[in-house]
Amino acid sequence: MPADVRAARTACPKHMEYGPCGGVGFDGSCEIDEALRCPFVDGAAIAWHGVVAETGGGPSRGADPLPDPTPSPGAARVRDLLATRRIVVADFPARALDARSLAACVAAMSGPVDAVLSGDAGPARVQFAPSYRARLIADEGMLPFIGVNCRDRNRVALEGELAGLAHAGAGVVHCVTGDHTETGSRPDAKPVFDIDSTQLAALARAAGHLVSVGESPTTPPVGQRAARLREKEKAGADLCFVNHCGGAQPVARFIAEARALGSTSGFIPCIPIVLDEGSAHLLRTFTTLVLPPGYLDGILRAADPRAAGIVAAVELSRAMLALDGVVGIDLSGGAAPGREVEHARDLAEIARRLEDEL
């Protein structure tokens, strides 16, 4: 590991090797310590140099041999779908640890929505394991995109989940470093961060998956975000979810910057879904959230916020789908407590109104 990378890794609370994460403040501060400047924001993007194991100075032992990866049938389904048209992905609104809520939400979205992205459930830090969630969602007839984070499991546990996800029907594995435990509902749990999202992308690709990652074009270091995506692609990423950055024009600029560096990703911009005060509150918890000017107030001040939110999401989705390089959109956000199924129905309605664009 290069000396500068080692120093940054030591200073980072998540021990990232290919930082920074998406939790950097607009002033360059760390998400868990405003007095700490992110050690990655002032340097160039870290070049991909592989998944390097830390031995702690002890003797190096050979790892247990892994069998050849099982090609993921879910990944093949997604590739076939993307070869024909652009897609609608929706953040999965089901309650954590509730299989009945999961089934009801799938039933409400099946048809118009192509796939659901099920990762960290907002403030809920205890969830079904990724491979089990994938199996439940697939069994209900929906294509699962499963978020896997590096906060809760070391690399050995992550390799086990990736093997399970290939069998469980995951269409895409979305690789994130993850929020620190100090920012969620379980600060009593110790964070792991054995590896980061770039290294996880490499492990997911090696396990036979179609791999997605996220990038935040308006989060510091803004000038290095496209370069960082390029290094994630070298590690194994195929798709990039573009986090909320203010509308179609900032997304277009980010795609152009990435393409100029040789990026081959398909881009899936996140569309902010605001239907009531509850969903707006959840969206506000997103780190360094940047929405189109007037987007939130225009919806919440409308006589019918639900109707206004659906119209706003459709209009923004159409603008995103018109951009070169965009292969789909992600209806992003979550439901107010107790409104999970209604929220799922509204996501399906947005997808129905986009059928001509798709």
What is the predicted pLDDT for the residue at 86?
98
Q: Strand, helix or coil at 112?
A: coil
Burial (CB < 10 A; 0-12, 13-18, 19+), residue 99, is middle
226 belongs to a structural domain: yes
CA distances from 241 to 89, 126, 165, 217, 244 (A): 10, 24, 20, 11, 9
> What is the sign of the dihedral through the CA atoms of 336, 341, 345 and 351?
positive
b/e map 254-287, b = 16+ CB within 10 Å = bbebbbeeebebbbbbbbbbbbbebbbebbeebb
| Cα–Cα distance for residue pair 261/254, rounded to 1 Å | 11
What is the predicted pLDDT for the residue at 185?
79
Under 8 Å between Cβ of 280 and 336: no
What is the predicted pLDDT for the residue at 1?
63
| Cα–Cα distance for residue pair 200/300, rounded to 1 Å | 38
What is the predicted pLDDT for the residue at 348?
98
| Cα–Cα distance for residue pair 314/302, rounded to 1 Å | 16
Instruction: Report helix angle 99-109 to 340-353, nearest 10.
Output: 20
Give me the number of domains the chain comprises.
1
111 belongs to a structural domain: yes
| Cα–Cα distance for residue pair 113/115, rounded to 1 Å | 6
285 belongs to a structural domain: yes
What is the predicted pLDDT for the residue at 182?
86
Domain carrying residue 258: 75-353
207 belongs to a structural domain: yes
CATH number of the CATH domain containing 87:
3.20.20.220
147 belongs to a structural domain: yes
Under 8 Å between Cβ of 181 and 191: yes
What is the predicted pLDDT for the residue at 121?
60
| Cα–Cα distance for residue pair 288/216, rounded to 1 Å | 9
Q: Strand, helix or coil at 2?
A: coil
CA distances from 36 to 29, 31, 56, 183, 192 (A): 6, 9, 25, 15, 20
33 belongs to a structural domain: no
| Cα–Cα distance for residue pair 61/59, rounded to 1 Å | 6
What is the predicted pLDDT for the residue at 131?
97
What's this model's pTM, rounded to 2 decimal places? 0.94
55 belongs to a structural domain: no
Closest C-alpha to 150, from 194, 86, 186, 189: 194
99 belongs to a structural domain: yes
Q: What angle do CA 159, 164, 166 make, to 5 degrees?
A: 100
Provide the residue-wise pLDDT of the chain in tens; the chain has 358 residues: 666 677 888 899 999 999 999 989 999 999 988 899 999 999 999 999 999 776 555 545 566 666 677 778 999 999 999 999 999 999 999 999 999 999 999 999 999 999 999 997 655 668 899 999 999 999 999 999 999 999 999 999 999 999 999 999 999 999 999 988 888 778 888 999 999 999 999 999 999 999 999 999 999 999 999 999 999 999 999 999 999 999 999 999 999 999 999 999 999 999 999 999 999 998 888 878 999 999 999 999 999 999 999 999 999 999 999 999 999 999 999 998 999 999 999 999 999 999 988 8
Closest C-alpha to 313, from 145, 88, 107: 88
What is the predicted pLDDT for the residue at 149?
95
Q: What's phi and psi for 333, nearest 5 deg?
A: 140, -150
